[in-house]
Chains A and B, each alone.
Chain A
Amino acid sequence: MNTLLNKKKEPIDKLAASSAKGHSLGGEALRRMLRSPVAIIGAVITGLFLLVAIFAPLLAPKDPYERYLQSEVILGQGIIPGAQAGFPLGVDDFGRDYLSRLLVGAQNTLLVGVLATVIGVVVGMLIGGLAGAFGGWVDTVLMRLVDVMLSVPSLLLAISVAALFQKPSQWTVIVAVSMVGVPIFARLLRGSMLVQRSSDHVLAATSLGVKRGTIVLRHMLPNSLGPVIVQATLTLATAILEAAALSFLGLGDPDPNRAEWGIMLSRSARQFLDIRPELAYYPAIAIIIVALGFTLLGESLREALDPKNRR
């Protein structure tokens, strides 16, 4: 009997150790993502975009604000010089190097997208977390507010917030776009909190006498992060598109110096499509690829993190 127990003990321990090692949700999700071509394409696009955005000032061959060929631009006659030596993608209506502006534009586009998403996540999680953690009238009041925000179509919501500010700037765009994400993240977090409130691990922590704040922060929040990260990745794509839409409607940053893809696209599409259509194509293609990258990454993350897909 004794020997039997001793004999069995070791392999079981080993087995437990190996299975714990091989089956953590994060690790398995990562391995599943590495096997999926969609995830890899998404990750490569996103990674490249991040690299370009971070190192844009070093990568840009010319000063993006210097008006090199301004004398050759004659808007009255519809003349904007095309691609030429030193300006592989041509110049914009101020005679500035378009390639350099696109590269630096990656940085500003990322900034708008990331900040809008982060603000949306933080405010949304605060609302959803409070509602989910407290329940009762806090929940009712906060969720009513979220319902109201959801009752306005997303672009109209962004428009109404952006129109609040008398002077549009990059910051008003960021705040307006972030408001679209707030109700989504609030709903997401609250839902997952509610499920967990009655789950075994929270019950266990409660019966051990762990404080409510600690339970929420240490036990409930980390378990809700998966879906939030997925949604944030997807929101980054829509945030960039919505910022572009706001620019197009005249609610964007009016500073002509600012190099940002949405601004570049909407200015070129509105004004120079007949003269130099490529001035609209380049930022449009950049936006489409980046939005696609974030969407692919988000979708494959969702699939990889879905416990239903675990094997």
Chain B
Amino acid sequence: MLRFLVRRLLQAIPTLLILSILIFAWLRSLPGGPAGALLGDKATPEKIADLNRILGLDDPIFIQYFKFLGRAITGDFGNSLVSAQPVMSEIGNFLPATLELGLCAMLIAVCLGIPFGYLSARFRGGAVDNVIIVLTLIGVAVPVFFLGYMMQDVLAAPLGLPSQGRQMAGLDATTVTGFAVFDGIITQEWDAAWDAITHLILPAFALATIPLAVITRITRASVLDVLNEDFIRTANSKGLTQPVVRRRHVLRNGLLPVVTTIGLQTGALLGGAVLTERVFNFRGLGFLLAEGIERRDYPRLQALLLFGALVYVLVNMLVDVSYGLIDPRVRVR
């Protein structure tokens, strides 16, 4: 198991290295080079030359790359042009919000997607199946940001849910970890925890739509596949009761591909978070990225894109590893 983990970790390194080269080249190919990008509007030829000297941009290109890599590994991506803070500390401050939102959305997608997909497969061809399929198709066809605005416009008022930000204005909540709900619970400020939860509901559902639709469809397809397997016929013919067959044989085997899908859908979640957080003014990493795009804040964009890829690679690695844990057939290899 440990060897498998180490091997997967080692496999991720070249990918990330090449990615770092591309991002290095990306910043370098901007007009004015990185110095121009760092200075933004304030760039003059003299200032660029000064900064080039300070940043060591007169060095040979590969030495520059290794310096960049060294700084990147220690988390030094320079300062944001918008906030003038180190980009890494910005990421640290905004990460909990996105984690909270992303986990909530994934929870919704998994907790609804698996039952929906299973029901759909069980009543294949029936009304339930058709309704679920149509909904999943529409789910992936709706632009996420439009859905967010729709929820704000149509659902927020009748449900009494807030549609902006992470916290009610003027609420006195203690920040311990940055996870608003968790902070509310450990400091026993129940109103703060509840307030944070209500702020999460709409954006989390908006963000969950695409993963929900995909997980539903994968579950359905995979359960249908499993139902055709020989071992299900065997289980039925040796007289196991239906609930036992469904739980032990159909569901357990049917959920394997779903685990992979969850990993892949983290990507959709990371992209969707940019749109959702912008719509709901939910101050997380996606919001940071959207703001960075509008202001052409290249140091911030560079760090966030690399961070996004890192998270995506790590999550999929974790999924691979967990696959080995739950499916003995994979472990052998």
Q: What residues of A have a CB within 8 angstroms of the CB of B309 in the complex?
A: 151-153, 156
Q: Are the CB atoms of B145 and A269 closer together than 8 Å?
A: yes
Nearest to A237 among chain B residues (CB) is B141
| 7 A–B contacts, CB within 8 A, in A order | A153-B308, A154-B268, A155-B275, A159-B301, A241-B143, A269-B146, A284-B143
- A residues 99-118 near B (Cβ < 8 Å) are none
Q: Give the Cβ gap from B277 to chain A, nearest Cβ, in Å.
A: 11
A298 to B270, CA, bound (A): 26
A250 to B294, CA, bound (A): 6
Q: Are the CB atoms of B142 and A288 closer together than 8 Å?
A: yes
Contact with A along B141-183 (1 / 0, CB 8 A): 1111110010001000000000000000000000000000000
Q: Are the CB atoms of B301 and A153 closer together than 8 Å?
A: no
Binds B, one of A4-12, A66-74, A142-150: A142-150
Residue B74 interfacial (CB < 8 Å): no
Residue B259 interfacial (CB < 8 Å): no
Q: Are the CB atoms of B271 and A156 closer together than 8 Å?
A: yes
A152 to B298, CA, bound (A): 17
Q: Known contacts being A245-B144, A265-B143, is A155 close to B29, with CB within 8 Å?
A: no
Contact with A along B17-59 (1 / 0, CB 8 A): 0110011001001110000000000000000000000000000
Q: Are the CB atoms of B305 and A152 closer together than 8 Å?
A: yes
Q: What residues of A have a CB within 8 angstroms of the CB of B18 in the complex?
A: 144-145, 148
Q: What residues of A have a CB within 8 angstroms of the CB of B15 in the complex?
A: 144, 147-148, 151
The residue that A295 contacts in the complex, of B137, B308, B312, with Cβ under 8 A, is B137
Nearest to B16 among chain A residues (CB) is A151
Q: A148-B22, A244-B146, A249-B274 are in contact. List 13 more A-B contacts (CB 8 A).
A: A148-B15, A148-B19, A151-B313, A152-B308, A159-B289, A164-B26, A166-B31, A237-B140, A244-B145, A245-B145, A248-B275, A291-B140, A292-B141
Residue B220 interfacial (CB < 8 Å): no
Residue B326 interfacial (CB < 8 Å): no
The residue that B141 contacts in the complex, of A144, A148, A280, A291, with Cβ under 8 A, is A291
A266 to B146, CA, bound (A): 8
Q: Give the Cβ gap from A172 to chain B, nearest Cβ, in Å.
A: 13
A65 to B64, CA, bound (A): 50
A284 to B147, CA, bound (A): 9
A156 to B275, CA, bound (A): 11
Q: What residues of A have a CB within 8 angstroms of the CB of B31 in the complex?
A: 166
- A residues 141-179 near B (Cβ < 8 Å) are 144-145, 147-148, 151-156, 159-160, 163-164, 166
- A residues 108-138 near B (Cβ < 8 Å) are none
Q: Are the CB atoms of A153 and B149 closer together than 8 Å?
A: no
Name the prevailing secondary structure of the B interface residues. Answer: helix
Name the prevailing secondary structure of the A interface residues. Answer: helix
A250 to B137, CA, bound (A): 27
Residue A277 interfacial (CB < 8 Å): yes
Residue B63 interfacial (CB < 8 Å): no
Q: Known contacts being A148-B22, A284-B146, is A156 close to B293, with CB within 8 Å?
A: no
How many residues in A have their beta carbons less than 8 Å from beta carbons of B? 38
Q: Are the CB atoms of B137 and A287 closer together than 8 Å?
A: no
Q: What residues of B have a CB within 8 angstroms of the CB of A164 in the complex?
A: 26, 29-30
Residue A251 interfacial (CB < 8 Å): yes
Q: Give the Cβ gap from A162 to chain B, nearest Cβ, in Å.
A: 8
Q: Which A residues contact B (CB, under 8 angstroms)?
A: 144-145, 147-148, 151-156, 159-160, 163-164, 166, 237, 241, 244-245, 248-251, 262, 265-266, 269, 273, 277, 280, 284, 287-289, 291-292, 295-296
Q: Are the CB atoms of B137 and A296 closer together than 8 Å?
A: yes
Residue B290 interfacial (CB < 8 Å): yes
A76 to B29, CA, bound (A): 41
Q: Give the Cβ gap from B87 to chain A, nearest Cβ, in Å.
A: 15
Residue B138 interfacial (CB < 8 Å): yes
Q: Are the CB atoms of B293 and A249 closer together than 8 Å?
A: yes
Nearest to B306 among chain A residues (CB) is A152
The residue that B268 contacts in the complex, of A153, A266, A296, with Cβ under 8 A, is A153
| Residue among B144, B272, B309 facing the most chain A CB atoms (10 A cut-off) | B309
Q: Are the CB atoms of B137 and A292 closer together than 8 Å?
A: yes
The residue that B293 contacts in the complex, of A153, A163, A280, with Cβ under 8 A, is A163
A280 to B289, CA, bound (A): 24
Q: Give the Cβ gap from B281 to chain A, nearest Cβ, in Å.
A: 12
Q: Which 9 A-B pairs have the closest CB atoms?
A: A155-B271, A153-B267, A291-B141, A292-B141, A153-B270, A152-B309, A148-B18, A284-B146, A269-B149
A251 to B294, CA, bound (A): 8
A277 to B143, CA, bound (A): 16
Nearest to B142 among chain A residues (CB) is A288
- B residues 92-133 near A (Cβ < 8 Å) are none
Q: What residues of B have a CB within 8 angstroms of the CB of A151 in the complex?
A: 15-16, 19, 309, 312-313
Q: Known contacts being A159-B274, A249-B275, A295-B141, is A154 close to B30, with CB within 8 Å?
A: no
Residue B278 interfacial (CB < 8 Å): yes
